[in-house]
A = this chain, B = another copy of it.
Amino acid sequence: METLEITPVILCGGSGTRLWPLSTPERPKQFLKLDGQASMLAQTAARMCDDDKAGLRFAQTLVVGSVRHRDMIRDEVPGARRILEPFGRNSAAAVAAAALAAPEDALLLVLPADHSILRPDLFRKAVGAGAAAARDGHIVTFGITPSFPATGYGYIDIEPGETCVRKARKFVEKPLLDKAQAYLDSGHYLWNAGIFLFRAGTMLDAFRTHAPEILDNVTRALPQAIATQEESEIDAGVFDACPNTSIDYAIMEKFPSVMAVPVEMGWSDVGDYKALWELSEKDADGNVLMGPVTATGCRNCYIRSEAGPLSVSGLTDKIVIATGDHYMACDMAEAQSVKTLASAASK
């Protein structure tokens, strides 16, 4: 089997508030050691290790992130090249920057920095399976075989069939529950995990056709020597005018030959504390207790202190978080409303 070289491109600019107060604008989710061991960013990078079985080698990682997180990016992915944005302009601009920084023939694998993948071997296998299509000029997306009618993700409608690489027919927005159920039942809808593989040249052509304004802006905003620098900063004065558009909207929904590879790899976007609780190792009572926590008579709770001692008693289905700056307690059913608490707290 031929061995292909893949360049991981980690999109690290997110500033989610759904794991607030653990996650903050200063230290968003991808920089947190949610499992107490390694940051999600470091895990994302580590996942992309050479894999003979999958026929993959990985070139130097490229991280696109915020200039305010420069040091954390350097610490978490020490060997990576960095493109630093002065502020976020969404994923289309970040992908364009990555494509401009790479040789035309490089195969770029775009990866969100803050997802959890329990079976990276299956992921790499899928990447290996999709690589030929990417080399042939397709944009290849890796979609998650849905396990429940999720209303929190976008979906990809793919051609029915048994082959592992199939044509993606349509990208659709987050559905309501009945539609999500129909997608699940159909067997040919995947969750859009924002993971893409393509030739740099393919993506640049796609931008020229479908989003020339973004490409033009990013080209001007990047330093001339982008292809050779270890660290490049995007010019704020230019970048300010860049359209703020997702890669899905700017390119994927318009590009005529997107292929999709369905994967079942224990994926989670760890979108809220409930998801984090589900992913985490629990004690016999279903509790996740992290940091200096004393719990008695609690069940199915996520209790974590990153600061002083925290004592809890008689709680069921609750989230309690203490950091040096903030304390938060809510019902597990309210996990999605944490971002509301975060924005209320920042006022």
Question: Is A331 a contact of B314 with CB atoms below 8 Å?
Answer: yes
Chain B residues, Cβ within 8 Å of A309: 325-327, 345
Question: Is A311 a contact of B328 with CB atoms below 8 Å?
Answer: yes
Question: How far is the CB of A310 from the nearest CB of chain B, in Å?
Answer: 4
Task: Check A133 for interface membership: any CB of B closer than 8 A.
Answer: no
With A322-B327, A344-B296 known to touch, is A333 a contact of B312 (CB < 8 Å)? Answer: no
Q: Who on chain B is nearest to A320 by CB?
A: B329
Instruction: For A344, give its contact among B297, B311, B325, B329 (CB under 8 Å).
Output: B311
Q: Who on chain B is nearest to A312 by CB?
A: B329
Instruction: For A337, give its contact among B314, B318, B325 (CB under 8 Å).
Output: B314
Question: Is A310 a contact of B326 with CB atoms below 8 Å?
Answer: yes
Task: Check A227 for interface membership: any CB of B closer than 8 A.
Answer: no
Chain B residues, Cβ within 8 Å of A340: 296, 313
Question: Is A313 a contact of B327 with CB atoms below 8 Å?
Answer: no
Question: How far is the CB of A338 from the nearest CB of chain B, in Å?
Answer: 7
With A297-B334, A320-B329 known to touch, is A341 a contact of B308 (CB < 8 Å)? Answer: no
Question: How far is the CB of A337 from the nearest CB of chain B, in Å?
Answer: 6
Question: Is B330 a contact of A314 with CB atoms below 8 Å?
Answer: yes
How far is B307's CA from A322's CA once the two chains are assembled, in angstroms? Answer: 12
How far is B303's CA from A341's CA once the two chains are assembled, in angstroms? Answer: 15
Task: Check A150 for interface membership: any CB of B closer than 8 A.
Answer: no
Task: Check A224 for interface membership: any CB of B closer than 8 A.
Answer: no
Question: Is A313 a contact of B331 with CB atoms below 8 Å?
Answer: yes
Chain B residues, Cβ within 8 Å of A337: 296-297, 313-314
- 26 A-B residue pairs with Cβ-Cβ distance under 8 Å, sorted by A, are A294-B344, A294-B345, A296-B341, A296-B344, A297-B337, A307-B327, A308-B326, A309-B325, A309-B345, A311-B326, A311-B329, A312-B328, A312-B329, A313-B328, A313-B329, A313-B330, A313-B331, A313-B340, A314-B333, A314-B334, A315-B318, A315-B329, A315-B330, A318-B329, A320-B329, A327-B327
Q: Which 7 A-B pairs have the closest CB atoms?
A: A314-B334, A314-B331, A313-B330, A311-B341, A310-B327, A313-B334, A322-B327
Besides A309-B327, A311-B330, 7 other A-B contacts (C-beta < 8 A)? A294-B345, A296-B340, A296-B341, A309-B326, A309-B345, A311-B326, A320-B320
